[in-house]
Structure 1
Amino acid sequence: MRAYLGIFNWHSLLILFLALASSLAALQWQLSIHLDFLVLGLLVVFPLTLTIKEAFKRRERAIQYLSAMEASLRSFYYCFSNSKLDPSGKQLANELLYKASSALHAFLTGQHQDIKRVSEGTDQIASFITENRKVLKGALSQKLMLSLFRARECTNFLVATKRHHTPLGIRTIALIAIYSFVIFYPASVLDQQGFQVPLWYLFAMTAFKAILLISLFNVQVQLEDPFRMGGPDSIKLMDFELIDLRLAVESNGSKMVGSAKNDDEDEEGEVFL
């Protein structure tokens, strides 16, 4: 339930305050104005419809590229596991693949903003394939390089989706139109129904419509970043995590720690002996 309340923010509170203030002012000073809200409605509905549609397309394409990226890295994992690399080489390959995946996920979730860390992941995999092309055989290394090109394409698209949004000017026009509606709508209601309208009715009519509009605007803003953590429509990046690689890297790390402890104990024993 908390995730769905994310469509309400400080814009929602400000809209409610302006709705109350404009209703009070219109009744207190008996303000009335005849306005055609058709143009104002177009300034709100058309930009929001366009930007929500485009933002949703970006979100769906991001899911496709995340799936392709996860499939590419997993195919690398299977190829390296079935190759003639020695155990240390396979472990290094697993660490490079996991590093590339974790660096991309960390960038998408906003843990860091360094694009070089993301590109270094695929660059190090390419260097590893080049250094071990004799062990991997020529045909396999070439196929891996072609697959790496696809993985790099997915990485570039996901980074661009994180950094580039829909046009800011369209969203700004929609926001200005929403605030203009809140300010002038109570006076327009009084022009049609007279000044005998109670305050609660005028405020309820204004606030209800304004909250609907600003909520649509907030949904559009949240869709701008499909990787934002905690949003109701955010992409679940955990679904694209390479769990096999993480477990392999973590298990090898624990073995290395255990062997290091054993070596230290042996050294200490030799000293005492």
Structure 2
Amino acid sequence: MKKYLIIVNWRTFVALAITSLTTHFTLVKNFQYNFDLTMISIAIIFPLVFTIKSAFRRREKAIEHLAKFKSGLITVNACLQSQSKISDEDKNKIRDTIYNISKYLIEYLGPEHTTLETVRKEAAKISDYIKERSKSMKFNASLKIQGFMRDVLLGIENSAGIKEHRTPASIRAYCLVFIYLYPIIYVPSVYFRLLDGNSQSSPWLLYTLALISTFVLISLFNVQEQLENPFDQDGVDDVKLEMFDLNE
């Protein structure tokens, strides 16, 4: 049931209230005009679909970056643990550091309050360790481990970029304003067409059409808002962060 109710919030009730009041005013004052509703699709539908597609694309990119991050950490750990010239004590420290990198990134992306700088500092420990021990490793092994660490660092920075930079706020604000204005444009025009078609049930039909169309638009906007931050664990379509945590 949650996945159906997630699209309903305070904005839904505001939009429906505006629609109801506009419809009531239209019927009482017999306010109507002929307007090409194609403009609605240009003014609202197009930018709304654009922002939803952008949010979905960011979510898919986030999954891709986190998958590379986790696979890179696993490979770095396996390579370092296989080095015979590294002591068992150092191997345990390396493993703990690698698990901390995973833990801190998941906390930073999710609802916890770990900072990005903490994640970067923990990742730098592994890079520094590889540089310090590069002479005691085979040259090819050192290069390979550094290559996998590059995937880890890219995963951290790309995921942070997705978290901090959203789809354009101006377009989202524009969509919301026009959704609230939508009933004022739409309802009198539909009322004109209903009367022009000699509909006998125009009042109830007008209420139904107006409320349903407004609900659809504001629900699409709410879906986009839920996808804006794919890491906050506040929506049914958010990235399952526990899948990318080595500690799990």
Q: Give me the TM-score of the superposition, normalised by structure 1.
A: 0.82
Measured in 2, the distance between the counterparts of 1:22 and 1:46 equals: 24
| Equivalent residues of 1:7, 1:215 under 8 A apart | yes
Q: Say if 1:162 and 1:225, in contact at 8 Å, map to a contact too.
A: yes
- Matched to 2:207, the amino acid is F
Q: In structure 2, what is the Cα distance between the partners aligned to 1:136 and 1:91?
A: 18
| Runs of 5+ consecutive residues of structure 2 not aligned to the other structure | none
Partners of 1:109 and 1:162 in 2: CA distance: 9
Match of 1:53 in 2: 53
* More displaced 10-residue stretch of structure 1: 48-57 or 210-219: 48-57
- Matched residue, 2:80: 80
For residues 8-157 of structure 1, the aligned pairs below 5 Å read 8-84=8-84, 85-112=86-113, 114-157=115-158
Deviation of residue 120 (structure 1)? 1.2
Cα root mean square deviation, aligned: 2.1
User: Structure 1 residue 137: deviation in Å?
Assistant: 4.3
Structure 1 residue 81 displacement after superposition: 2.2
**In structure 1, what is the Cα distance between the partners aligned to 2:129 and 2:96?**
11
Q: Secondary structure at the match of 1:7?
A: coil
Is 1:179 equivalent to 2:194 in the alignment? no
Report the residue type matching 1:202 in the other structure: L
Query: Contact conserved, 2:226 with 2:234, CA < 8 A, in 1?
Result: no
Cα distance between partner residues in 2 of 1:136 and 1:5: 56
CA–CA distance in structure 2, aligned partners of residues 193 and 154 of structure 1: 56
Shift of 1:135: 4.5
Deviation at residue 199 of structure 1 after TM alignment:
4.4
Q: For residues 91 and 113 of structure 1, do their structure 2 counterparts lie closer, same or farther at Cα, with a shift above 3 Å needed?
A: closer
Report if aligned partners of 1:52, 1:220 keep a CA contact under 8 Å in 2.
Answer: yes
Which structure's CA Rg is the greater one?
1
Which TM-score applies when normalising by structure 2? 0.89
**Number of aligned positions between the proteins:** 244
**Separation in structure 2 between the aligned mates of residue 6 and residue 161 of structure 1, nearest angstrom:** 22
Shift of 1:108: 1.0
User: Matches of 1:119 and 1:80 in 2, distance apart?
Assistant: 20
Contact preservation (8 Å) 2:104, 2:114: no
Q: Is the 8 A contact 1:4 1:232 kept in 2?
A: no
- The structural deviation recorded for 1:100 is 0.9
Between the aligned partners of 1:190 and 1:172, the Cα distance in structure 2 is 28
Once the two structures are superposed, the pairs formed by residues 223-238 of structure 1 within 5 Å of their partners are 223-238=227-242
Contact 1:18/1:182 (8 A) holds in 2 = yes
Looking at structure 2, the residues matched to 157 and 184 of structure 1 have their Cα atoms a distance apart, in angstroms, of 42
Q: Is the 8 A contact 1:23 1:203 kept in 2?
A: yes
Shift of 1:102: 1.1
CA distance in 1, matches of 2:188, 2:82: 75
**SS of alignment partner, residue 3 of structure 1:** helix
